[in-house]
Structure 1
Amino acid sequence: METLSSSSILPANVSQPTYNRKLLKPGIVHIGLGAFHRAHQAVFTQKAIEKTFGAWGIVAVNLRSADPVNALQDQDGLYSVITRSAEGDKADIIGVTVDWILAADRGGDVLAYLSSPDTRIVTLTVSEKAYGLDPVTGGLDLQHPAVSADIANPQAPTGVVGFLVEGLVRRRERGLLPFTVLCCDNLPSNGHVVRRLVLEMAEKRDPELARWIDDNGKFPCSMVDRIVPAATEETRNRAKSLLGVEDRLAIETEPFMQWIIEDDFVSGRPRWEAGGAVFATHVEPYEKMKLRLLNGSHTLIAHLGILHDLEFVRDVMAVPEFVQKVERHMESVVGTLDSVPGIDLPLYRKQLLERFANPTIAHRTAQIALDTSQKLPQRLLSATVETLVSGKDASAFAYVVALWIKSIHKRGDLDDPRKADILAAAASADPADPSASFFAIKGLFPPELVSARDWRDQVNAELAKL
């Protein structure tokens, strides 16, 4: 069957770009060509360009995986986003990507774009673990393979922070302003985090470079939200049925999407508000709400699913007892949240429950459970500390930690950057204090929780029930 391309004749009910793609010029470099970016930032950018045309084409960079890059090449930079709901399926063709690069093969081309005056924004979706963040200090992890390699050989970077710093070095040499770095990953105060990592790596190269970035660079915070399951063969078959052609990059997602952005850019930005983005002075209240209510609940659901052999989020949400667990968790989280401008929290929680239960979205619990050690601090543990400091009941959070520990024992393996430490903790667990070996993992749990004997006993009590 024919593969999606610029010459494909598609059904009339398939939405296609309304701008002239031949006139589109690069203005954004995006690092992390995964499903989430394709269903989120790229969609917002296409909507912005359709509203106000400008030089905001996306150069899509993947650090190591060649498959999406090759697929974009074969499909003239086009792919479909299938929005699924009870009302039916809708396909949109996204064409805002103007170049696609595998950094492992063409690192020089990535640096050429980063040092080009045409590039004004760099957006990032590389997952929490890719930044080389030290969980203890909050700064660079000098043992992280990409971080250590990029410090040793900075002109040929391999990691995201290394590429950003070398790109900024070359811009400074050319007399250009920095690009704006817009992190779209689930890190608390993500712009501040990335700024610190970039400045630390720059400082190791040249203190003057670090001062120049600090004085001129912009690292706005942002909060992103859209449920985007990993694509499957069923996804591609559904796309084939809707489009009449094959699409190797087809993805499925929900109707809901949200992007809250701090409006702090060096050299302009697209009109992302045309797609519904909200620009705010302070993103942190929205970010905390999303990380703790949506992502924290997702972690709970994921490990419930693993323990009970339920493959998808929707399967967990079909069990009334488990829905009650999620509702109890959300109730505990709300007590830790700040006021969120323009958000009705009871309505937001109701919408989350409906989104989780969407019968058309096949979001695997195993996918959400990946890298849990990197996600627990911002999704769960910070809320636990705040709850205990306020003297309130934190047993709902103890339950989630117990679920995670129990799921490790059940699986006997996991996909996590701290796999060796976690499996060693599981193997050495003391039946009299089964969580102790996990609390002893360096830098995983904050000291306030390690020393909270009563709360740790709650974790053990939940483990005993499980």
Structure 2
Amino acid sequence: MSRLSFTNLPVAPEVDPHALSVGMVHLGIGAFHRAHQAVVTERAAVATGDTRWGITGVSQRSATVRDQLAPQDGLYSVLERGLGEPSIQVIGSIRDVLTAPDDPEAVVARIADPAVSVMTLTVTEKGYRAAGTGLDLNDPEIQADLAGRPPRTVVGQLAAAIARRPEPLTIVSCDNLVANGPFLRKLVGEYFEALGKVPEVFEATRFPASMVDRIVPATTEADRAEAARLLGVRDEAVVVAEPFLQWVIEDDFAGDRPAWERGGAVLTRDVAPWEQAKLRMLNASHSMLAYLGALRGYETIAEAVRDEELARLAQQLMTDDVVPTLSPPAGLDLAAYGETVLERFANPALKHRTRQVAMDGSVKLPVRMLGTVRDRLTAGAEPRTITLAVAAWMVYVHQTPNLDDPQAPRLKSAIANLPTTSPPPAALVDALLAVDSVFTPDLRDSTVFRDLLVDHVAALTTHP
């Protein structure tokens, strides 16, 4: 079967890719970006006729995406799987892909290009190389960038490009971090301070906060076969997504930008209420189902939600522990939102693997769960259900041999002296509570939190 390209184009993109000039760069061109920001950007171009917002994607690690897209002239499809028949759309907004390990200088040069006025990034929580509330200046990769090599870290790339620019840039973080834009600004500022020179243009560079939401599971060979059936050509870069898509962006830009609101995004003065609702309700319950589901042997989130006990616990997490900590934005009904979350997770067409959602727990827990725990303890409440989610992570860390986590060596070292089977619950809890890159002193010193964790770990190691 022939491959998707300009010469084999059974379903044309809604905007002519040949007409697009590059005005935007995206760091972290994985499946999520291609199913989310790139789609909204293309929809905005269709709605306005503005052709200035073609995208240069940057892969921070491997050349896989570049090698998938290059023979296809940058074209790929989004396969939407809902409750009905799947649908497919060809997207043409990505015009080229750079691979940072191969040519780090080209990445910096592209971000510094005056034709580029906006960049977005989805590099996951660990890509920010933070320690607590600031930049980890002891990180060897950060140190190597500061020493003068062509930068390979996200913060190093941004700083080098900003320093070259005559005009300010707008940098939109799309990762699941609290106040992600201001946080990234702080990290870049600390990098400049470590260099000993802060360029004038940095002051005018904008870092709006944003909140993104769409379930994008890993693509399988079955998905590629389905895309080929629908398209009539082979697409090696197809991404899979649910029909739901949400992007809330702080309206704070240094210059021109795509008309993202015409593509379905929400522009607002305050992203925080949207962000808190999503992180604490959707992301926390997603992680809870991943850990509890994996411990029960479920391969996908949809299977875990079909377990009535796990579905009830996810609902309890949201209603009993999370909702009391939130001040919802106007127009968002938290009860209805919680019901929608579980309906989306239960979509059997999205085979979102529990182990995929469970990865990187050490950096996800603080932003998805521990803020809720802290707020409930401060209010004098007993955060029973969300503490169960934290306990499930602890048991998962202990029971998973090849843990996919940036702090895996530290976590495994913390529990190295425990028995491999049936560890004493209090010993496992204390060992992991002592990991100060995950748990702050107020949580470590809370007898209420610790006692709940011990009870939950004891129950999970007896009956997962």
TM-score, normalised relative to structure 1: 0.95
Task: Pick the aligned partner of 1:189 from 164, 179, 192.
Answer: 179
Is the 8 Å Cα contact of residues 412 and 423 (structure 1) preserved in structure 2?
no
Deviation at 1:432, TM superposition (A): 6.3
1:149 to 128, 144, 151: 144
Unaligned runs of 5+ in 2: none
Give yes or no for contact 2:16–2:92 (8 Å, CA) kept in 1: no
2:441 corresponds to 1:447:
yes
Say whether the 8 Å CA contact 1:314–1:363 is kept in structure 2: yes
Partner of 2:214: 226
Q: Return the alpha-carbon distance in structure 2 between the equivalents of residues 57 and 7 of structure 1.
A: 20
Which residue is equivalent to 1:158? 152
1:412 deviation in Å? 2.9
**Offset from partner CA, 1:359-395 (integer Å, 9 cap, x none):** 1110000000110000000100011000000011211
**CA-CA distance at 1:78 after TM superposition:** 0.2
Determine whether 1:121 maps to 2:118: yes
Cα distance, 1:269–1:432 mapped onto 2, change above 3 Å: closer
Of 364, 373, 383, the match for 2:372: 383
Structure 2 counterpart of 1:86, one-letter code: L
User: Amino acid of the residue matched to residue 407 of structure 1?
Assistant: Y
Q: Any residues of structure 2 matched to 1:17-166 within 5 Å, and which?
A: 17-52=13-48, 53-135=50-132, 138-153=133-148, 156-166=150-160
1:249-328 correspondence to structure 2 within 5 Å: 249-328=237-316
Structure 2 match to 1:437: 431
Q: Which consecutive unaligned segments of at least 5 residues does structure 1 have?
A: none
Kindly report which structure 2 residues correspond to 1:185-224, keeping only aligned pairs within 5 A, or say none: 185-209=175-199, 212-213=201-202, 215-224=203-212
Contact 1:428–1:437 under 8 Å retained in 2: no
Do the aligned partners of 1:262 and 1:283 also contact (CA within 8 Å) in 2? yes
Structure-2 separation of matches of 1:95 and 1:285: 33
Cα distance in 1 between the residues matched to 2:430 and 2:417: 9
**AA at the equivalent of 1:8:** N
Contact persistence 1:17–1:50 (CA under 8 A): no
State how far apart, in whole Å, the 1-side matches of 2:351 and 2:437 are.
34
- Give the corresponding residue for 1:179: 169
1:114-147 deviation per Cα after TM superposition (whole angstroms, max 9, x unaligned) = 1211000111001110111112xx1111222321
8 Å CA contact 1:115–1:168 kept in 2: the answer is yes
CA contact (8 A) 2:302 2:347 kept: yes
Aligned length: 453
Q: Moved runs in structure 1, 4+ residues, more than 4 A?
A: none
Which has the larger displacement, 183-192 or 407-416?
A: 407-416
The alignment partner of 1:73 has SS state of helix
Corresponding residue number in structure 2 for 1:463: 457
Deviations 1:40-88 (A, max 9, x none): 0000000000011231110011122101011111110000000111121
Instruction: Tell me the distance in 1 between the aligned counterparts of 2:144 and 2:222.
Output: 39
After superposition, residues 354-365 of structure 1 pair within 5 angstroms as 354-365=343-354
Higher mean C-alpha displacement, 391-400 vs 74-83? 391-400
Q: Deviations over 1:429-456 (max 9, x none)?
A: 4726230010111221121110101220
1:164–1:9 Cα change, 3 Å: closer
The CA distance in 1 between the partners of 2:389 and 2:328, in whole Å, is: 25
Q: Is the contact made by 1:398 and 1:456 (CA closer than 8 Å) also made in structure 2?
A: no
| Alignment-mate amino acid for residue 70 of structure 1 | D
What amino acid is the match of 2:404?
A: D
**Aligned residue in 2 for 1:406:** 395
SS at match of 1:105: coil
C-alpha contact (below 8 Å) 1:286/1:340 kept by paired residues: yes
Superposition RMSD on alpha carbons, in Å? Answer: 1.3
Q: If the length of structure 2 is used for normalisation, what is the TM-score?
A: 0.95
1:337 to 326, 336, 339: 326
Asked if residue 242 in structure 1 is aligned to residue 242 in structure 2, the reply is no
Matched, 1:3 2:3: yes
Letter in 1 for 2:6: S
Structure 2 distance, partners of 1:307, 1:313, is 12
